[in-house]
Amino acid sequence: MDAEGMKLLATALAIGIGGLAPALAIGMLASKAMEAIGRNPEAASKVQGAMILGMAFAEAIAIYALVIALIIKFVA
């Protein structure tokens, strides 16, 4: 495999793995938040705020993975 092929493979792996972990994290966050709201509906606003903040941090990791993939593809 030549250098260009390795670069494309590294790009695909960076965005693939870098997008998988945040996707799983967001799914788990939403699942646990809905479970907590189901058990204690009065605390829905507190749980929802924490859930949205956690999802934003998880999504930021996916954006970092995208940036790394773009750097590998176009700069390296």
What value, to the nearest 5°, has the Cα angle with vertex 46 and ends 22 and 61?
Answer: 15
Q: Output the pLDDT for position 1.
A: 81
Phi/psi of residue 53, nearest 5 degrees: -65, -45
CA 45 to chain centre: 23
pTM of the complete model: 0.80
Compute the average pLDDT of residues 61-71.
94
Domain ranges of the chain: 3-74
Measured from the Cβ of residue 37, the count of other Cβ atoms closer than 10 Å reads 17
What band does 76 get if pLDDT is binned at 50, 70 and 90? confident
pLDDT in tens, 13-60: 999 999 999 999 999 999 999 999 999 999 999 999 999 999 999 999
CA distance 16 to 1: 20
Superfamily of domain 3-74: F1F0 ATP synthase subunit C (1.20.20.10)
